[in-house]
Chain A
Amino acid sequence: LAKTTQPISMDSYEGQEVNITCSHNNIATNDYITWYQQFPSQGPRFIIQGYKTKVTNEVASLFIPADRKSSTLSLPRVSLSDTAVYYCLVGDNGYGQNFVFGPGTRLSVLP
């Protein structure tokens, strides 16, 4: 399983764009990169997934360079409600997938 490294915490202000980078140097060919968001005492919630280049949905963008050894989750114009822990996961989508959640990045959005 590819290990991931993220910053433990980040601070931002409302309205700013936030970029959280995840390192995964030993990512395998079949591995996808998935990001989840978790609020206190709630289960994680899927944000976005990608394999290479850029993926965008209604809440975030995911940038993956050609070597795929890192990825950046971009949250545009954050609000106070985006304060949460963000997890980067790397793994294949096959059956028997074994998701390994690292410690995540605790994002605090300040007014």
Chain B
Amino acid sequence: DSGVTQTPKHLITATGQRVTLRCSPRSGDLSVYWYQQSLDQGLQFLIQYYNGEERAKGNILERFSAQQFPDLHSELNLSSLELGDSALYFCASNGRDSYEQYFGPGTRLTVT
């Protein structure tokens, strides 16, 4: 158990819909990262937040957005969903001055 929690575990929704994925980092960790992993694309970095502020952006689509709240949990919002958005979405966290990222169990999103 990494200490990072993600909800929900599974999500099935239809094209065009909007969903919100939630992540709670390890206690005390200020950084949260979001990744997308689909079968044909591998693990793709989406975005990083540090203590509530966006710190780095990767291959995140405009239809996707994220935020980190004062209690440090983070949400990833996916809108206008397409079939190709079906994937595992991982959240990771690490602390200040730490290089090791701790990954959550992931949310499996299926868009039908």
A residues touching B (Cβ–Cβ < 8 Å)? 32, 34, 38, 41-46, 49, 87, 93, 95-104
Contact = CB atoms under 8 A, between A and B. Distances in A.
Given A43-B103, A46-B101, A49-B100, A101 B56 contact: no
12 contacts: A34-B99, A41-B108, A42-B106, A44-B90, A46-B101, A46-B102, A95-B55, A97-B56, A98-B48, A101-B35, A101-B42, A104-B42
Instruction: Give chain B's interface secondary structure class.
Output: strand
Given A34-B99, A49-B99, A43 B48 contact: no
- In the complex, which of the residues B44, B45, B88, B101 has the most CB atoms of chain A within 10 Å of its own CB atom? B101
Interface of B: 2, 4, 31, 33, 35, 42-45, 48, 50, 55-56, 58, 88, 90, 92, 99-106, 108
Given A43-B90, A43-B92, A98 B103 contact: no
A101 B50 CA distance: 20
Nearest to A43: B103
A27 B5 CA distance: 33
Contacts of A43: 2, 4, 90, 92, 103-106
**What 10 A-B pairs come out closest when comparing CB atoms?**
A43-B103, A101-B43, A46-B100, A93-B99, A96-B56, A96-B55, A98-B56, A43-B90, A103-B42, A44-B103
